[in-house]
Amino acid sequence: MILTTGGTGYIGSHTVVELLNAGFEVLIVDDLSNSEKEVVQRIEKITNKKVAFEEIDLKNKEKTFAIFEKYPTINAIVHFAASKAVGESVEKPLMYYENNIGSLINLLQASAKYEINNFVFSSSCTVYGQPNVLPVTENTPRCEAESPYGNTKKIAEDILKDTAFADKTFKSIALRYFNPIGAHPTGLIGELPRGVPANLIPFVTQTAFGLRKELSIFGNDYNTPDGTCIRDYINVVDLAKAHVISIKRLLENKNKSNYEFFNIGTGKGSTVLEVVKAFEKSTGVKVNYKIVAKRPGDIEKIWADTTYANIELGWKAETGLEETLASAWKWEKNYRA
């Protein structure tokens, strides 16, 4: 059984679907602080399989340990549960360190006690900051984090590396996501931001739907072909599949070292304006936008070199940008219907 923390969240829910499709039994643990319980039923509808669910806050050590008593067949963990709003983390750093690092430590202590030695972690390309050389490979040095959120990802990677060094039986893989977007092709699960979306794609789909008057594009005088920032937008289902491959790699002892990390992106950068145009082309719906001031802390450009993941994991992003944006639009419409 695969324990998936944060399994009702955006990337977690898509990963649970792929794990179930691959034949794994799954237990979701989530505190529902940023997701809905109904996602569990939606996952079951998509897969026609049952998934176990426990509403638990991993900051609670006793309850975290109790999970492993109750589900003795857990043999691997995919750990998504974390707070993820960059701006909020600047305002509430302690909350971010407590949520993201405190829960990781509890989980690792429980893993050690119950001898669960296979651990996949959701990291982020945020660990690279603004790299000097593009695209970024896994050898690109990590830099000083730009936010407490980013720092929690960096610290968590270090914790995993140190744990794997100290305990030779413990194996972990950190996946450094670039910008996950899109939704399951059924339109039954997707990204569900609370309040005004901070991220580009939910803002685009909500604007297209008429919930927002216009998209604000943050800056158009960056050193990029059209002046807007470049990101590597990765389809969330493709991303989910990277977790299944990583879990299998650990369970089959195919890992090359006890702590590995991989870039998970498409290898292709797109500007904000290119994304807006691709959305309009694939959906036929216009997106009103205006150019506004740069957003503080935004990185000018980043995209992944995915060669290592392609070769070592045998994983590759398969879905194109337009198809992915169409899936985000389908989800937005389904959800609002």
Which one is catalytic: 10, 96, 128, 149? 149
What's the rounded Cα separation, in Å, for the pair 152 and 321? 29
88 near ligand UFG, judged by CB under 6 A: no
Q: In the complex, what is the shortest distance from the CB of residue 232 to ligand UFG, in angstroms, rounded to a whole number?
A: 9
Mask 106-135, x = binds ligand UFG (CB under 6 A)? ------------------xxx---------
Residue span binding ligand UFG (CB under 6 A) among the ranges 132-140, 198-206, 258-266, 323-331: 198-206
Q: In the complex, what is the shortest distance from the CB of residue 200 to ligand UFG, in angstroms, rounded to a whole number?
A: 4
DSSP-assigned letters across all residues of 214-228: -EEEE-S-SSSTTSS
84 near ligand UFG, judged by CB under 6 A: yes
> How long, in residues, is the chain?
337
279 near ligand UFG, judged by CB under 6 A: no
Question: Whose Cβ is closer to ligand UFG: residue 164's or residue 215's?
Answer: 215
217 near ligand UFG, judged by CB under 6 A: yes
Structure tokens at 220: 């158009």
Q: In the complex, what is the shortest distance from the CB of residue 292 to ligand UFG, in angstroms, rounded to a whole number?
A: 8
Residue span binding ligand UFG (CB under 6 A) among the ranges 59-67, 90-98, 209-217, 259-267: 209-217
Taking CB under 6 A as the criterion, the residue among 216, 220, 310, 334 binding ligand UFG is 216
171 near ligand UFG, judged by CB under 6 A: no
274 near ligand UFG, judged by CB under 6 A: no
Segment holding 118, helix H or strand E: strand 118-124
CA nearest 301: which of 242, 247, 229, 196?
Answer: 229
CA 93 to centroid of chain Cα atoms: 20
Signed CA dihedral, 269, 319, 315, 245: sign only = positive
Taking CB under 6 A as the criterion, the residue among 22, 198, 211, 251 binding ligand UFG is 198
Please give the residues from 218 up to 247 whose contact with ligand UFG meets the rule CB under 6 A: 218, 229, 231
Residue span binding ligand UFG (CB under 6 A) among the ranges 11-19, 130-138, 211-219, 251-259: 211-219
192 near ligand UFG, judged by CB under 6 A: no
DSSP-assigned letters across all residues of 248-297: HHHHTT--SSSEEEEEES-S--EEHHHHHHHHHHHH-----EEEEPPPTT
What's the rounded Cα separation, in Å, for the pair 316 and 306? 8
Active site residue 149: yes
- Which residues does 326 contact at the CB level (< 8 Å), separation at least 6? 282, 283
Question: Whose Cβ is closer to ligand UFG: residue 106's or residue 263's?
Answer: 263
CA nearest 179: which of 321, 7, 331, 322?
Answer: 321
CA distances from residue 33 to 65, 99, 183, 228 in whole angstroms, order as listed = 20, 11, 20, 33
277 near ligand UFG, judged by CB under 6 A: no
Q: In the complex, what is the shortest distance from the CB of residue 152 to ligand UFG, in angstroms, rounded to a whole number?
A: 10
DSSP conformational letter for 311: I
Taking CB under 6 A as the criterion, the residue among 78, 86, 175, 189 binding ligand UFG is 86
309 near ligand UFG, judged by CB under 6 A: no
CA nearest 73: which of 7, 23, 2, 15?
Answer: 2
Annotated catalytic residues are 149
Give the binding site for ligand UFG (CB under 6 A): 84, 86, 124-126, 150, 179, 198-200, 203, 215-218, 229, 231, 272, 295, 298
